[in-house]
Amino acid sequence: MTIHFKPGHLTTGLFALALLGSTALGAMTAQAADQEISWIYCGDKIDPIHEKYIKEWEGKNAGWKIVPEVVGWEQCQDKATTLAVAGTPVGMAYVGSRTLKEFAQNDLIIPVPMTEEEKKSYYPNIVDTVTFEDNQWGVPIAFSTKALYWNKDLFKAAGLDPEAPPKTWAEEIAIAKQIKEKTGTAGYGLPAKTFDNTMHQFMHWVYTNNGKVIDGDKIVIDSPEVLAALQAYKDITPYSVEGATAYEQNEIRAIFLDGKVGMIQAGSGAAARLKDTKINWGVAALPLGPSAKGEGTLLITDSLAIFKGTGVEEKAAEFAKYITSTDIQHEYELQGGAGLTPLRPGALVDEFVAKEPYWKPFIDGIAYGGPEPLFTDYKGFQNAVIEMVQSVVTGKAEPADALKKAAADLEQYK
C-alpha cells in the first residue's frame, strides 16, 4: 500500500523522534516568502564577503531578497533536511556535497547543471564531488584538502633529517617507528574515534594509493589498493598516538600543536594555528602508497543545494552561481585562516601561494584526489568504514577480513 506523503503526519512523527533523540527539529516555521530566497547558512556568522555580495546582488535584482539564516554546523544539515522532508523547504542550503545524491534520489533538490566552460574553470575532480548520474546537483562553495605536517624538532631528536618528510607510506611508517623508539613520543597521529573524519582520514590513504570505494553503483572497496591502505593503517598504529579510537582529527591536531606527535594529516587551518606556537614544523604532500599515480587527497566540498517546491528555484540557482563565481569565491577563500582550499585556479591563487608557500601541497594533491563517495545512505557508509578502521587499529580484525566485511555491509547503503 502506498501512502501519499502528508507533511503534517511526518512532521509530528519526526518531532516525537527528535524529543527522544534530543535533536533540534523545533524551528519548522521558516518559509520562503514571495520574492525571498531563504538560505540556511552554516556557521556562527555570515562571512563579511558574502554579506557584501548579497547586498550587491539584491541591488541588481530589484524585488528579490536573500534571507540567510545562520545555523550551527552540528544542526545545519539536519535542519535543511528536516524542513525539506516536512514539506517546507528552504530556498537554498549550505550542505556537504556527500548528501546531494540522497537529496537528488528523493526528489528534494533540483539539478544545477554546469556548462563545459564552468566545469573547466574548477580544479580537476572538483565537479565530480557534486555530480550524480551525469548531472550537477549543487554549486561548490567550500573546499578542503589535506597535507602532511611534520615536527622538525622531533625528527631531529630521532636522528632523522628534519628537512626530509616521508614521500611514501613505507618511509612514513619507518619514520614513525624511529620517532617512537628514539624519543618515546608518538610518531604519527592516527584519528579513529567514532566521528566522520575518521572515515575522511582513511580516504586520504585510499586516494594516495589509487583506490576507490564505489564505482557507479558497484562497491569496489575490496581491492588490493584499499587493502594496502588498511594494512598500512595496521602497520603504523603501534607508533601512533596511544588509543587512536579516542581521538578525532582536531583532537589529534591539538596533540601536534602541543609537540607530542611527529606527523599528522591535516588541513590548511593547522598552519594558521601552528604560526602561534614555537613548534618548528613543515608541510608536504601526503605520502604515496605503492599503487599511487601521483599526489592525491580526499576532496571534500560543501555546496549550495537548491531545494524543490519553493517557487524561487530558478532565481536561487542564479544567486548560487553568482555568489560562487570566480572572483567572489577567490575573495572569500583567500582571506587566510579559514582553512579553505581554492576551488578554481587563477592569478589570485598563484599570488597567494607565492606569498604563503605552505599552501602548495594542498593544491598539488587535487590532481589525483577523489570525492567523498556518494551513497544513498551516506551515514551508513560512513559508519561501516569507521567500524572497519576501528576493528583494525584495535587489533580485533585483520585488514583483509575487515575489508571483506565492510564491502558486504556497504551493499545495503549504495
Partner 1 sequence: MSVQRSTLIFAWILLLPAVLYVTVIVAYPLVDTFILSFTDASLKKTTNWVGWVNYEKIFNATFAEVIMRTFVWTFFSVSIKMIIGVFGASMLNAAVPGRALFRVLTMPPWIVPMAIGIFMWGWMYNGQFGMISGLLQRFGFIDGPVAFLAQGSTAFWATIITDVWIGVPLVTLYMLAAMQSIPQDLYEAAWTDGAGRFYRFRRITLPLLIPSLITMSMLSLIATFNSFDIIWILTRGGPSGETTTMIIDTYHTAIGSKKYGEGAARAVLICIFLSIFCLAYFRVTSRLSSGDNR
**Choice between 4 and 278, CB closer to partner 1:** 4
Cβ 401 vs Cβ 386: under 8 Å: no
Q: Which three cell numbers stand for residue 282?
A: 613543515
Q: What does the longest C-alpha to C-alpha distance in the chain come to?
A: 71
Residues 6+ apart with CB under 8 A from 42: 70, 71, 72, 73, 76, 77, 94, 302
Angle between the N-to-C axes of helices 224-236 and 169-183, in degrees from 0 to 180, rounded to the nearest 10: 10
Residues 6+ apart with CB under 8 A from 90: 30, 32, 38, 39, 40, 69, 80, 83, 84, 307, 310
Q: How far is the CB of 107 from partner 1 (least distance, A)?
A: 6
Q: How far is the CB of 205 from partner 1 (least distance, A)?
A: 19
Q: How far is the CB of 108 from partner 1 (least distance, A)?
A: 6
**Choice between 17 and 70, CB closer to partner 1:** 17
Residues 6+ apart with CB under 8 A from 25: 14, 15, 18, 78, 79, 82
- Residue ranges binding partner 1 (CB under 8 A): 1-5, 9-10, 12-23, 78, 81, 84-85, 102-103, 105-108, 192-195, 241-247, 251, 254-255, 258, 260, 377, 379-380, 383, 386-387, 390-391, 394, 396
Cα–Cα distance between 188 and 179 in angstroms, integer? Answer: 9
Q: One-letter amino acid identity for 107?
A: D
**Choice between 23 and 135, CB closer to partner 1:** 23
**Choice between 16 and 33, CB closer to partner 1:** 16
**Choice between 47 and 251, CB closer to partner 1:** 251
**Choice between 14 and 328, CB closer to partner 1:** 14
Cα–Cα distance between 340 and 267 in angstroms, integer? Answer: 8
**Choice between 19 and 27, CB closer to partner 1:** 19
**Choice between 258 and 401, CB closer to partner 1:** 258
On the 0-12 / 13-18 / 19+ scale of CB atoms within 10 A, 318 is middle
**Choice between 1 and 62, CB closer to partner 1:** 1
On the 0-12 / 13-18 / 19+ scale of CB atoms within 10 A, 339 is middle
On the 0-12 / 13-18 / 19+ scale of CB atoms within 10 A, 216 is exposed
**Choice between 54 and 104, CB closer to partner 1:** 104
Dihedral of the CA atoms 240, 244, 246, 251 (nearest 10)?
50
Nearest alpha carbon to residue 269 among 143, 161, 395: 143
**Choice between 195 and 368, CB closer to partner 1:** 195
CA 392, chain centre distance (Å): 23
On the 0-12 / 13-18 / 19+ scale of CB atoms within 10 A, 396 is exposed
